[in-house]
A = this chain, B = another copy of it.
Amino acid sequence: MRTPGTDRIDAPRFGRRALLTGGAAGAGLGAALGAGAVLGIPALTGTEDAPDPAAAGFGGETLPCHGAHQAGVATAPTAHARYLAFALRPETDRAALARMFRILSDDIEGLASGEAPLADPEPELAARPARLTITVGVGPGLVDRVDPARRPAWLAPLPSFARDALDGRHDGGDLLCLVQADDPLAIAHAARMLARDLRSFAEPLWTQQGFRRARGAEPAGTTMRNLMGQVDGTVNPSPEDPDFADLVWCDGRASASDAADVSWLAGGTALVLRRIRMELDTWDRVDRPGREQTIGRTLADGAPLTGGTERSAADFDARTPHGLPVIPGYAHIRRAHSEDPAERIFRRSANYDADGEAGLVFACFQRDPLRQFVPIQRRLDELDLLNEWVTHTGSAVFAVLPGFAPGGVLGAALLA
């Protein structure tokens, strides 16, 4: 008798190809039910009727993984996110990188579609992606390995900030896979698939997991709250804004201050990831007015202290009857605000709470961190009362690759 586990057997031929053969191609739900049909097993619904998509749940929902930009940046945030950073193995040369990106692209197509990559040992876990996206970024080391002349100046560790307390556990990396979905099981499965397929090219460096409100728990479009209780992320460019592309997407042109050949980045973006620990025990000792003055917004609905509702513009000139600023000089939103409209970032943060520590996995996308994130963070670093209760303990910058088309491969322009 063969003992499972002692010998390596051909990868199961279940998944995308089998499904296509079975005529069950299509969106997630069809694939999930089709999987049973291919094997002659009754589908989960147990009826002969067409399934009711609503009753089947959102697990089968998919987001396209192809396009000019990768998914997961401008697409609507999901409930869960996991950042997987890797360090390239010394032997991973340009040819190996080409193989690696080919495999990554295949995995992304399989996992995002719910059809499961070819060698997925658990296609049932892939069958309900729940809007899964996988967004791939490259770090300074990877670009240098291809061609140092192609590395933009911003693709480097951020300049240090006085209050930084980086502990080395969530810093840097050569390669990043950002996995997002509305379902933690879909993310766990995809993350394992990616880590396994990357194993011969790179070693895991660090992982960060984040969450927002569960999908369906709140009215659509509700701004998330962080673990300090604040409405977090109100002032954020919208992908519908006319200047969104200029703020977020790289255009591939060299800049006056940076002669690097960044043509491979057209359609990509720069990700700044900061791990921000919150000192909730001392924060809780502050009364509500104190906390609202620290931020410059009300806790109840996130409206600026100068009135209105969450989306109202803050009036930084407003004064109290005593002549003091309504939004104090040390308030977080005043320090984060810039009069220069080009000095904005596109935020996409999530909460973390594990191993006795809580905080924010702060992520932002922009065309050039040195012109966008850095000046904002410089002001916050210099003066922001919120600094009493937050500490940046991790920092990384990645170039998010441009998107890819069906039949294409991620990173093709970089390796060309």
Contact = CB atoms under 8 A, between A and B. Distances in A.
Interface string A24-48: 0000000000011001011011100
Given A4-B287, A385-B4, A225 B55 contact: no
A388 interface: yes
Contacts of A204: 356
A227 B189 contact: yes
Interface residues of A, number: 85
Contacts of A222: 44
A384 to B, nearest CB: 13
Contacts of A227: 125, 185, 188-189, 192
A385 to B, nearest CB: 7
A354 interface: yes
A41 B298 CA distance: 10
A143 B83 CA distance: 43
Contact of A5 (B8, B59, B192, B290): B290
A281 interface: yes
A400 B217 CA distance: 29
Main secondary structure of the interface of A (DSSP, over half): loop
B14 A57 contact: no
Interface stretch (A250-258, A299-307, A334-342, A372-380): A299-307
Given A196-B281, A280-B192, A301-B36, A217 B130 contact: yes
A321 interface: no
A245 interface: no
A217 B5 contact: no
A188 B291 contact: no
Interface in A48-83: 55-59, 79-80
Nearest to A124: B229
Interface string A162-194: 000000000000000000001111001101100
A183 B216 CA distance: 9
A314 to B, nearest CB: 16
B196 A284 contact: yes
A188 B227 CA distance: 8
A303 B40 CA distance: 12
A317 interface: no
A124 B287 contact: no
A303 B280 CA distance: 47
A36 B300 contact: yes
Contact of A214 (B214, B303, B358): B214
A184 B196 contact: no
Given A124-B300, A354-B209, A5 B57 contact: no
Given A121-B229, A214-B130, A286 B4 contact: yes
A31 to B, nearest CB: 13
Interface string A8-31: 111010100000000000000000
A218 interface: yes
B5 A283 contact: yes
B309 A217 contact: no
A211 B79 CA distance: 13
Given A125-B225, A189-B227, A287 B5 contact: no
A322 B22 CA distance: 31
A269 interface: no
Interface in A258-294: 280-288, 290-291, 293-294
9 contacts: A4-B291, A8-B285, A9-B290, A10-B287, A57-B218, A79-B184, A80-B184, A182-B217, A192-B227
3 closest Cβ contacts across the A-B interface?
Answer: A4-B290, A122-B229, A59-B217
